[in-house]
Each structure stands twice: as C-alpha cells, then as structure tokens.
Amino acid sequence: MKVAIYQTSPILLDLKSNLEDVIAKIRQGREKGAQLIVFPELALTGYFFGQRYHEVALRLDSKEIKQLVSATEGTAAVVGFIEESPSMNFYNSALVMVDGNILFTYRKLNLPNYGVFEERKYFAPGKQIPVFRLHDLNIAVFICNDLWHPSLPYLGVVQKADVFVTIFNSSQGSMGTEFSNIESWTIINTFYSRIFGIYNICANRVGEESFRERRAASGIEADQTKSEEDSPVLCETTTYRFWGGSEIINPFGHPIAKADLYKQDEIFGEISRDLLRQKKILLPYLRNDDPYFTYRELQRILHDKSRVDIP
C-alpha cells in the first residue's frame, strides 16, 4: 500500500483556505498513486484558536465535510479537524474517509491542559480506539498526546493493528526550554514501531502561531466577565514555531521517508505485509502477550480494597 503525508501549514481560524488546500492535496496524492493520505492534527483550523474554537467546528453533515469526503473517492484520507457532535459537544478529531465515505471520527482521548495547552477547556474526550481495515491492513489512529500514554497504543495492538496513523501539532518551546519536542517525538515514534512491530505514519505540521496567555496581576484572579482593560490581568504573547519532520517508520523502527523541518513538504512510502511478517518471525515480542492478564491485573488494582495506596 502506498501512503502519503502532507505536512501542511494551516492558517489559524481560516477554515475555507485550509479546506481548499487539503482537498487539493488529497487530489494530488491520489494522482500520485497514494492509497492512504494523512494530514496533521487540526489541519483545518490551526492550533491556538482559544475561545474561538466553535467558530471553525464542523458537524459531519456540514457542506464542508461533504466536500472533503467527496475528494477521497479512489483513495483514503485521515484529516485533523474540530468536530461538533449533534449534541453540541466539541472534539479534537481525525476524520477517517475511504473512497468517498466516512468510516468514523477518531476523537482524541488524552486532552492536555497545562502550559500553553488548553484543550480540556474546550473539548470533550473520546471514548474508543477503533481499528479499521484498508488493503488487508489493520490501522489505528492516534492524536498527539494519546501516544504519550502507552496504554492507548497497546489497545490498538490488542486489536491487531498493523499500522499506526499518528497526527500531531508539535512546536518548539511549547514544553519549556529543558525539553526537546523533536528529540522526544523521534524516540516515541520509533519506540512503538520497534516494540509493537508496526508501521507508524507520523504527521506533524509547520508554520508559526501565537499564543496569548492571560495572567492575574499581583496574584489576583482575572474576572472573565470584564474586558482586559478593566481586569487586573497581564497579557503575554509568545509565537511558537511548528517544526514538521513528519515521518513514515517501518516495523523495525527504521525511517522509510522523512519530511523537512520547518517547511511544507510531502512524503511517500510503501507499506508491505511481507515486512510485517518478517518482523513477527524474527522478533515476536507480542507472541505471548495476554490481554486477559492485563485485564485481571487492572481489575485487581482498581477494585482491591485491601490494597494500600502509597501517598
């Protein structure tokens, strides 16, 4: 199966332009023979949207989604966007489309809410990790912080996932000066491929966006009902640069293709069932894995009243 990653630079809150760009790239990828085309997290909106998130949210029955889905005829695509459910919940989602049809939306489960990350303020968490089948391969989708919680990738593998599609928005400096996002994502992406013996299709974005942080002055909490001029708050704006570096990694943890840093790019790679089989024969890490044991231990840990928790 031929796969493609389009490493885009979405314009913040410009749904129309971003949608047009994604649709054009899906068509380009299909013309180049890609059978699965992957875009970054929140590719239709940008990341630091703040309290305007609802302005660029899309329902699955919206005309924009219908246009996007129609563009996938003859191929498949995964696109990050803000989803609004019929009950008016909002999700950081990945739309999974195959040959002009919606299969499902994967909704991000682990929503960060620290530092510059405010997703839990705006979004509801997902409830499931679905796995879908495409060209005789089982594929699981994850969004950014989900991969920082090893239990979630494990749930994909328990469902016999052969391929991870990992979409994220990672920028320099967003985790502080003592932490390298580029180094950490390289380790994480390779780790899961090598340990689980899966292909990992990892799509990050590029471009710059500014985050405006409001802090209470002199330790006084800001009054959200007042304007910035009337409230005792300090506002600090910081611009973050998304670094790209999207990559396709094989089951041995080796990169098949890697995108440039800091600029828009497209990469392609071939996924082979033969290589998956070879890894399982040579390094059968999961052959004796027993999810029922994991389930029993979780039941014991969560419900054993005699267990003493260490403070």
pTM: 0.92
Q: What is the pLDDT of residue 225?
A: 56
Q: What are the tokens at 206?
A: 């590029």
Query: What distance lies between CA 149 and its chain's CA centroid?
Result: 13
Q: Which residues are catalytic?
A: 41, 108, 144
Altogether, the residues listed in the chain come to a count of 311
Structural domain count of the chain:
1
Measured distance CA(65)–CA(115) in Å, rounded: 32
Q: What is the pLDDT of residue 29?
A: 98
Within a domain: residue 216? no
Within a domain: residue 50? yes
Residue-wise pLDDT for 109-158, tens only, equals 999 998 899 999 999 999 999 999 999 999 999 999 999 999 999 999 99
Residue-wise pLDDT for 51-64, tens only, equals 999 999 999 999 99
Within a domain: residue 229? no
State the residue range of the domain holding 105. 2-208+243-303
Q: What is the pLDDT of residue 179?
A: 80
| CATH assignment of the domain containing 177 | 3.60.110.10
Q: What is the pLDDT of residue 306?
A: 74
Within a domain: residue 36? yes
Within a domain: residue 134? yes
Below-50 pLDDT ranges, the chain: 220, 228
Measured distance CA(237)–CA(54) in Å, rounded: 22
Within a domain: residue 227? no
Within a domain: residue 236? no
Q: What is the pLDDT of residue 255?
A: 97
Within a domain: residue 214? no
Q: What is the pLDDT of residue 174?
A: 83
